[in-house]
Amino acid sequence: MTELIERTATTTDVPVVELSMQQAINRALRELLAEDPDVLVFGEDVGALGGVFRVTDGLQKEFGDKRVFDTPLAESAIMGMAVGLAMNGWRPVPELQFDGFAYPAIDQIVNQVARMNYRTRGAAPMPITLRLPSFGGIQAPEHHGESLEALFAHTPGLKVAVPSDPEEAYGLLLQAVRSDDPVVYMEPKSRYWDRRPVRLREPSSPIGASRVVRPGRHATLIAWGAMVQRCVRVAELAAEDGVELEVVDLRWLKPIDTAGLAESVSRTKRAVVVHEAPLTAGLGAEVSALVTENCFGDLAAPVQRVTGFDVPYPAGPLEPQYLPTIDRVLLAVQRTLEY
Residues catalogued as catalytic: 144
Query: Do 294 and 303 contact (CB within 8 A), yes or no?
Result: no
CA–CA distance, 99 with 103 (Å, rounded to integer):
8
DSSP assignment letter at 206: -
Contacts of 165 (CB under 8 A, 6+ apart): 21, 191, 194, 196, 228, 229
Count CA atoms within 13 Å of residue 307 on its CB side. Answer: 20
Query: Do 207 and 255 contact (CB within 8 A), yes or no?
Result: yes
Instruction: Give phi and psi for 157, each to the nearest 5.
Output: 105, -15
Using CA atoms in the order 319, 323, 192, 45, what is the torsion angle rounded to 10 degrees?
-50
First vs last C-alpha separation in the chain: 51
Supply the DSSP string of 59-107, one letter for each residue. HHHHH-TTTEEE--S-HHHHHHHHHHHHHTT-EEEEE-SSGGGGGGGHH
